Amino acid sequence: MEEVVERSMFNGAQSNRMSLTGLHVTTAGGSYDVIVAHDALEHLPELLRALDLRGALWLISDDAVYPRYGPGIEARLCAAGFAVRGVTVPAGEASKDLATATRLYDWLIGGSVERRDAVLALGGGVVGDLAGFVAATVLRGIALVQLPTTLLAMVDSAVGGKTGVNHPLGKNLIGAFHQPRLVLADTATLATLPPRELRAGWAEVIKHAMIRDAGLFTALEETGPAVQGEVLADLIRRAVSVKIDVVNIDERETGERMLLNYGHTLGHAIEAAAGYGELLHGEAVAIGMRLEAQIACRLGMIDATVVARQGALLTSYGLPAAVPSGITVDDLIERTLRDKKVRAGRVRWALPAAIGAAAVRDDVPETLVREVLAAA
């Protein structure tokens, strides 16, 4: 396993001005820092200068996040000499589609975007995935800076270079790998996050603990969801470290990175079947984790105590357990067969082998999955 590296973005003459320490991602597609800190957005101009990003900045946000943070960010960047333009999309999963991407292409190309420019993605996972996909594909790719404002985006979707939009037949089926130049997670933004969004983010933190960090799992049991301040920042960094460990080993999801899909095979199917926007992504993943843990238990990979312990933690963080009514077993099975991880018609499942360990299996009988879903 590659070690997650912590380093300062600044040295020499600049070090007396600020000393933000970040986790570091190193992949074939790009090398960059992930910085998690309170009021980190105040330092955005200096960080962009350090990265030599001197072209125009195209800020993409949604109509819920932008009013809180967009004007301040734009003013700070303009004062530092950057040319900045901003645009918003409607908040919610419905914006993560090709139609919205096309409108963003029109905005960028109509505004004479250049290859030396950069897209700033300000918001949660929808904005990060959408803006990242647009940055990856306009002019065959321009620089991307992720500015996540939700817990889910901070610990998962903003890190690792996955970008994309949804298709009516499945989630994230259209996309590209495009590593950002920087991920800047300002934990101060979580104070204004709606409680439901915050709860949804904890699902990804718990997922990271389940697949790779038993100590983090125990810490989550001990602290609870009301944690704040530096303790919260430390939990976020620890969850991000899991993601970075895996991405550094397997950027393109050919092996190890598939472990990050724990809870997502059924979670994505449930999210799509319910109708995008009915369940938040983290809520669907939490339901998927509960079901996929039962699959692992039926396969003999874990015992019932692990299933119960995970279930208790998910419940304590306010995450749902039930599959929404009206969704059929046949519908979910059909959707899993369209999952990106399917190979030669076989679904590859990321399943827990213990608290803090997981494995990829492609030998899960469909009859077993049907039985677990029918019971749910």
User: CA-CA distance, 123 to 340, in Å (whole number)?
Assistant: 25
User: CA-CA distance, 265 to 373, in Å (whole number)?
Assistant: 13
Q: Compute φ and ψ for 352, nearest 5 degrees.
A: -70, 140
Give the pLDDT confidence score for residue 344 in this predicted structure. 65
At residue 183, the 3 state secondary structure works out as strand
Mean pLDDT of 145-166: 96
Name the amino acid, one letter, at 141.
Answer: G
Give the pLDDT confidence score for residue 257 in this predicted structure. 83
* Comparison of pLDDT for 18 and 99, the residue scoring more: 99
Give the pLDDT confidence score for residue 290 in this predicted structure. 98
| Residue 154 · residue 123 · CB < 8 Å | no
Retrieve residue 34's tokens. Answer: 């992930």
pLDDT at 13 over 70: no
- Radius of gyration of the chain measured on its C-alpha atoms: 20
Nearest Cα to 266, choosing from 296, 293, 287?
A: 287
Measured over the CA atoms of residue 130, residue 132, residue 136 and residue 141, the dihedral's sign is: positive
At residue 302, the 3 state secondary structure works out as coil
Neighbours of 375 (CB within 10 A): 8
User: CA-CA distance, 172 to 163, in Å (whole number)?
Assistant: 8
Give the pLDDT confidence score for residue 346 in this predicted structure. 87
Give residue-wise pLDDT tens across range 278-310.
999 999 999 999 999 999 999 999 999 999 999
Give residue-wise pLDDT tens across range 101-127.
999 999 999 999 999 999 999 999 999
Nearest Cα to 180, choosing from 48, 295, 286?
A: 48
| DSSP code of residue 155 | I
User: CA-CA distance, 321 to 31, in Å (whole number)?
Assistant: 38
pLDDT at 19 over 60: no
- CB within 8 A of 278, min separation 6: which ones? 324
pLDDT at 10 over 60: no
Retrieve residue 7's tokens. Answer: 């380093």
Would you place residue 240 in the very low, low, confident or very high pLDDT band (cuts 50, 70, 90)? very high
Give residue-wise pLDDT tens across range 324-372.
999 999 999 999 988 767 776 789 999 999 999 999 999 999 999 999 9
User: CA-CA distance, 206 to 122, in Å (whole number)?
Assistant: 24
* Comparison of pLDDT for 1 and 171, the residue scoring more: 171
Retrieve residue 372's tokens. Answer: 């677990």
Give the pLDDT confidence score for residue 56 in this predicted structure. 98
Residue written as token pair 């918001």? 123
Residue written as token pair 């919205």? 100
pLDDT at 5 over 70: no
Mean pLDDT of 34-40: 95
pLDDT at 33 over 70: yes
Name the amino acid, one letter, at 192.
Answer: T
User: CA-CA distance, 154 to 125, in Å (whole number)?
Assistant: 9
Mean pLDDT of 246-258: 83
Mean pLDDT of 50-65: 96
- Number of Cα atoms under 13 Å in the Cβ half of residue 354: 6
Mean pLDDT of 222-238: 94
For the chain, domains (ranges, CATH) are: 5-192 (3.40.50.1970), 195-375 (1.20.1090.10)
Instruction: Give percent of the chain above pLDDT 70.
Output: 93
User: CA-CA distance, 241 to 213, in Å (whole number)?
Assistant: 10
Give the pLDDT confidence score for residue 219 in this predicted structure. 98
Give the pLDDT confidence score for residue 174 in this predicted structure. 96
At residue 305, the 3 state secondary structure works out as helix
Q: Compute φ and ψ for 13, nearest 5 degrees.
A: -65, -25
Burial of 16 (0-12, 13-18, 19+ CB in 10 A): exposed
- CB within 8 A of 168, min separation 6: which ones? none
Q: What is the mean pLDDT of the chain?
A: 92
| Residue 193 · residue 156 · CB < 8 Å | no
The 3 state secondary structure assigned to 138-171 is: HHHCCEEEEEECCHHHHHHHCCCCEEEEEECCEE
Give the pLDDT confidence score for residue 7 in this predicted structure. 43
At residue 106, the 3 state secondary structure works out as helix
Q: Which pTM was predicted?
A: 0.88
Give the pLDDT confidence score for residue 17 in this predicted structure. 37
Residues with a catalytic annotation lie at 140, 162, 204, 243, 253, 257, 261, 264, 268, 281
User: CA-CA distance, 270 to 70, in Å (whole number)?
Assistant: 33
Mean pLDDT of 120-145: 98
Give the pLDDT confidence score for residue 170 in this predicted structure. 83
Instruction: Give percent of the chain above pLDDT 90.
Output: 85
User: CA-CA distance, 31 to 227, in Å (whole number)?
Assistant: 31
